[in-house]
Amino acid sequence: MISQNGTPHIGDRIEIIKLTSKSKKSYSSQVLNTTTEETFIISGPIHRQNLVMMHIDEKIKISYTVENRGRYTFDAIILKRSYKDIYQLEIQKISDIKRDQRRKFYRFDISIPVIKESIIKNEIKIEECRTKDISASGLKIYSNFKHRVGDIIRCKFQIKDHIIDNKCKVVRVGKVDTFDYKYSLGIDFVKLSENDRDSIVKFIFLKERLLREKELI
């Protein structure tokens, strides 16, 4: 459980953001142990069944969700790495904990149903779509209606027992070659609540953990 001051505890799910990567890609991790208030033992990142190499003295960013309070980050430096039993890193916090104001988040490939509503010529059009991926900042969905960039739509979908019904903005439109759909739509959430955002992040963490347990990532 995250402590009252926002510091993660043993067992908490976190993200490692590799700052040396141009894309600043994030990887799922977990706090395995704490040695002091400033140092943590965490699981090393794994991507597609391969270890993601991290280096001693490398600076990284740690990101995590505090329930009912939002998403937080701090900067850290890698002190040690070990491959005994499991791949793990010892890191030291080198900055204050800050509220994360990012609008870009890691996108997770998954297909879930989405009900899309849009107003076309003063008529409400409802379409059953599916996601290509999902993140805490938006979705990529498949659709048979060719929207324009800038269109405002409404998307409703369910993750676990949580229903998200939010206004969205179309930011990208492309063609796809599938049996069921003609177009892909890149969509950003408009004023997504912290509760909804945290539910999405937790959902992604859960799905990644299950895939990791099955050695599929």
Q: Which residues of the chain fall below pLDDT 50?
A: 1-2, 4, 103
The whole-number pLDDT of residue 1 equals 46
Q: Which of 135, 149, 137, 142 is nearest to 113 (CA)?
A: 142
The whole-number pLDDT of residue 142 equals 96
The half-sphere exposure of 215 on its side-chain side, counting CA atoms within 13 A, is 1
The whole-number pLDDT of residue 100 equals 63
CA dihedral 143, 149, 151, 154 (to 10 degrees): 50
For residue 139 the two structure tokens come to 């979705």
The whole-number pLDDT of residue 204 equals 85
The whole-number pLDDT of residue 99 equals 74
pLDDT digits (tens, 9 = 90+) for 17-39: 888 766 567 888 999 999 888 99
Instruction: In the chain, list all ranges with CATH 2.30.110.10.
Output: 13-99
Please tell me whether the overall predicted TM-score, pTM, comes out greater than 0.85 for this model: no
The whole-number pLDDT of residue 136 equals 86
Round to whole Å and give the CA distance between 78 and 41.
Answer: 10
Q: Please state which architecture CATH assigns to domain 108-211.
A: Beta Barrel (2.40)
CB-based contact 80:89 (threshold 8 Å)? yes
Where does residue 4 fall: left (phi above 0), alpha (psi -120 to 50 degrees), or beta otherwise?
Answer: alpha
Q: Which CATH superfamily is domain 13-99 in?
A: Electron Transport, Fmn-binding Protein; Chain A (2.30.110.10)
pLDDT digits (tens, 9 = 90+) for 171-180: 999 999 888 9
For residue 28 the two structure tokens come to 């799922």
Phi, psi (rounded to 5 degrees) for 206 = -60, -45
The whole-number pLDDT of residue 67 equals 61
CA 67 vs CA 95, 142, 157, 215, 216: distances in Å: 21, 31, 21, 28, 28
- Burial of residue 58, with CB atoms counted within 10 A of its CB: 0-12 exposed, 13-18 middle, 19 or more buried: middle
DSSP 96-135: --EE---S----EE---EEEEEEEETTEEEEEEEEEEEE-
